[in-house]
Structure 1
């Protein structure tokens, strides 16, 4: 089995540095200003977009996470008062608490500003459509 060519390895390493660096800087800003992690914001956003609640297994699917990993994260969020979980037939219903909704409202402009600064501002407008197309292709 052959390894990567030098050009392929360079592309792979650049991709990792860019993705990790951008996400790390955005997450650091959100955490510093709101105390939320990127995952907290993602969970709260999915709950908000779903009308304030979602089934735990559906949330795991939306996030691409294993149910056990999400369950552990939701336990930490529940301990901090950001979400509540209620047993329902066949699973758990997760709801954003009043504190969680307020935290999301605080985090959204911080998140948006960080995404603009660390991602969007670095991609010339003429290249955004192509970049989006490539990322969608890779995600599928």
Structure 2
């Protein structure tokens, strides 16, 4: 195992990354909420459902989002109450649930995608050079590969 203590420079870089991630996430969330009334969680679920070629079972949605069962259950209940989606029993497995996006949910998701894309363009794409953007993509993919389950050290 490598030395587990961060150098001062590494600590500063990590701290800057954490502040940037928190601020960017907060800004994106506020824009979504103010312009569409959707939370990031709403948007994430609606996007996954719309991008799926067929209706998703709750288990597949939970695994795809990497959420805990209780978190997804509570979020789906709130979204169903707001008319964004419907849940029905799975014919193949009466313990399972199939999730469907409503017309209202689909319309809001389309609005949210526009808001989200514009915000990402404004706060990230327009600020970074093409080279920086490419490096950001490479860094993200490298870290995602490292975080894949199960990971062998």
Secondary structure of the 1:4 match is coil
Aligned length: 140
Instruction: Specify the alignment match of 1:47 in structure 2.
Output: 49
Write the mapping of 1:41-120 to structure 2, written as runs, cut at 5 A: 41-51=43-53, 53-88=55-90, 89=93, 90-120=95-125
> C-alpha distance in 2, partners of 1:62/1:22?
23
Gaps in structure 2 of 5+ consecutive residues: 146-153
Q: Which of the pair has more CA radius of gyration?
A: 2
TM-score by length of 2: 0.85
Greater length-normalized contact order (CA 8 Å, ≥ 6 residues apart): 1
1:77-96: per-residue Cα shift (whole Å, max 9, x none)? Answer: 11111011111114111111
Structure number having the greater helix percentage: 1
Q: Using the TM superposition, give the Cα deviation of residue 131 of structure 1 relative to its aligned residue in structure 2, in angstroms.
A: 1.2
Secondary structure of the 2:126 match is helix
Quick check: 1:44–1:96 contact (8 Å CA) kept in 2?
A: yes
RMSD: 1.5
Write the mapping of 1:6-25 to structure 2, written as runs, cut at 5 A: 6-25=8-27
Q: Which runs of 4+ in 1 moved over 2 A?
A: 1-5
Secondary structure of the 1:122 match is coil
Instruction: Specify the alignment match of 2:138 in structure 1.
Output: 133
> C-alpha distance in 1, partners of 2:81/2:123?
31
**Distance change (3 Å), C-alpha of 1:115 and 1:52:** farther
Q: Using the TM superposition, give the Cα deviation of residue 2 of structure 1 relative to its aligned residue in structure 2, in angstroms.
A: 5.5
TM-score by length of 1: 0.92
Gaps in structure 1 of 5+ consecutive residues: none
